[in-house]
Structure 1
Amino acid sequence: MGRKVTVATCALNQWALDFEGNLQRILKSIEIAKHKGAKYRLGPELEICGYGCWDHYYESDTLLHSLQVLAALLESPVTQDIICDVGISSCAMWGHTLHKWEPRPSHHTHSPFFTSW
């Protein structure tokens, strides 16, 4: 018999542009996934900035704050020993150590927010 892997997926109650609150909910979901023995945690698209940002997707500070949340996740000991797939605008990031994170193209490309009008 082959090896078994536990995968955790979550649907978080994320708020648009609530970067600190969204970060805390992401960290909590990772803690729960690890507690239940998961080796891979899959989060929803746009879980860092939240859905419904409308024209804020075009603002540079939305990307800046999203990257700050991603940096906080990278620095957190909670993200160690588990592969995390974290949704950010226009892509998702996945990785398992501070030095091994890669972008994954996003499926959330609804017009008009991710294409030119």
Structure 2
Amino acid sequence: IVFFDRTEDVKSNAILKRLKDVYPVLKSNRIIVCAITNLLPQQVRAGDASQLPFPVLSDVASGQMDSPTVAWGRAAEEPVVSDQSAGIAGGVFYIDRLGLVDWNGNAPRPVDNPQHMINALITGEIQ
């Protein structure tokens, strides 16, 4: 799972670019990739995120207690206006085949080195 903020340029985000480039290999290895952003669904469909080969999910409730960004510890700020979503702190999470994810206190812990993890997924070092 890759979290990215609406203010990030999808084309220049190194992790999203790398995942896009290697997605055919990951898919052939039965690895599921998805991204979560605070872009509105129509912004995802109309923007550069629509060019990603994996699902890009919209967390329009980002920053609210029941939102994925809060559950995964990625809410970067409180919404300034109540009808807007909060910022998202970028992060990459690895969920293993048993559905387990590293944990850090009250939330899942993002991967320390996403590029290394992607390499390990490509080579089969981790699945």
TM bucket normalised to smaller: 0.3 to 0.5
Provide TM-score, normalisation by structure 1: 0.34
Provide TM-score, normalisation by structure 2: 0.32
